């Protein structure tokens, strides 16, 4: 299973960076509260801290996006980038499961458990192997 689609590893990263940049990274970085409202979060009266944390999260997502773009276009750092994607998928499953158990997130966030699990599985299937 590991790497069975590895010949398409770079293409996978290019598709992933395009989708996640538009849906997550740029909206969270540029307008975190507008993004949060679209995903069902209730926005409190005092929002400065939420905007700050949202922009910080968006910045880190953009770093991952740039890693994926570089590896997708050049092949440089391909294995490391897949390791980062797998780490993101794994940690985000934990974050979203915790929120679901505590019942502190909207349904859209709970559904992301499946999205991140699928991302992790796809990253394993496309994982670049020596051949």
Q: What is the pLDDT of residues 40-50, one digit of tens each?
A: 999 988 999 99
Report yes or no on 10 lying in a domain: yes
**Cα 49 from Cα 55, distance rounded (Å):** 10
Q: Given this model, what pLDDT does residue 103 score?
A: 96
Residue with tokens 């499961």: 97
Q: How much is the pLDDT for 131?
A: 57
- Is the residue at 12 inside a domain? yes
Question: Tell me: the pLDDT tens digits for 35-79?
Answer: 999 999 999 889 999 999 999 999 999 999 999 999 999 999 999
Determine the pLDDT at residue 1: 76
Going by pLDDT thresholds of 50, 70 and 90, the confidence category of residue 111 is very high
Contacts for 122 with CB less than 8 Å, ≥ 6 apart = 12
Q: HSE of 48 in the Cβ direction (CA atoms, 13 Å)?
A: 0
The answer to the question of residue 41 being in a domain is yes
Range of the domain at 114: 6-126
Overall domain count for the chain: 1
> Would the pLDDT of 34 be above 60?
yes
For residues 63 and 60, give the distance between their C-alpha atoms in angstroms, rounded to a whole number. Answer: 5
**What mean pLDDT value characterizes the chain?**
95
131 within a domain of the structure (yes/no): no
pLDDT (mean) for 29-34: 94
Whole-number Å distance between alpha carbons of 20 and 60: 12
Q: Which two tokens stand for residue 1?
A: 């299973």
For residue 1, is it within any domain? no
Q: Which tokens in the block code for residue 38?
A: 């679209």
Whether residue 110 contacts residue 99, with contact meaning beta carbons closer than 8 Å, is answered with yes
Looking at residue 130, its pLDDT comes to 73
């Amino acid at each position: 299973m590991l790497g069975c689609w590895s010949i398409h590893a770079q293409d996978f990263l290019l598709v992933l960076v395009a989708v996640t940049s538009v849906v997550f990274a740029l909206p969270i970085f540029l307008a975190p509260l507008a993004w949060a409202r679209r995903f069902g979060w209730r926005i409190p009266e005092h929002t400065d801290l939420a905007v700050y944390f949202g922009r910080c999260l968006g910045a880190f997502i953009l770093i991952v996006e740039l890693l994926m773009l570089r590896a997708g276009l050049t092949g440089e750092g391909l294995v490391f980038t897949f390791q980062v994607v797998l780490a993101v998928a794994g940690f985000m499953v934990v974050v979203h499961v915790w929120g679901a158990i505590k019942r502190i997130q909207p349904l859209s966030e709970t559904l992301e458990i499946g999205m991140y699990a699928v991302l992790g599985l796809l990253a394993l299937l496309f994982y670049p192997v020596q051949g």
